[in-house]
Amino acid sequence: MRMLVLGGIRSGKSQWAESAIAAAVTGSQPVCYLATGPAPAGDADWEARVAAHRSRRPTSWSTVETTDVATQLRSAPGAATLVDDIGSWLTAAMDRSGAWRGGSVADDVADLLDAVRGFASPLALVSPEVGLTVVPPTEAGRRFADELGLLNQRLAALCDRVVLVVAGQPVTVKDTGQAEARP
* Of the ranges 27-31, 140-144, 159-163, the best mean pLDDT one: 159-163
Residue 19 CA to residue 11 CA, distance in Å, equals 14
For the chain, what are the domain ranges? Answer: 2-175
pLDDT digits (tens, 9 = 90+) for 110-133: 999 999 999 999 999 999 998 777
Q: For residue 164, what pLDDT is reported? A: 97
Residue 174 CA to residue 158 CA, distance in Å, equals 11
Q: Is 10 marked as binding a ligand?
A: yes
| Residue 136 or 174, more confident | 174
Assign domain 2-175 one CATH number from 3.30.1330.60, 3.40.50.150, 3.40.50.300, 3.40.50.800. Answer: 3.40.50.300
Q: Is 85 marked as binding a ligand?
A: no
- Active-site residues, by number, are 53
Pick from 1, 9, 168: nearest CA to 85: 9
* Of the ranges 33-37, 55-59, 96-100, the best mean pLDDT one: 96-100
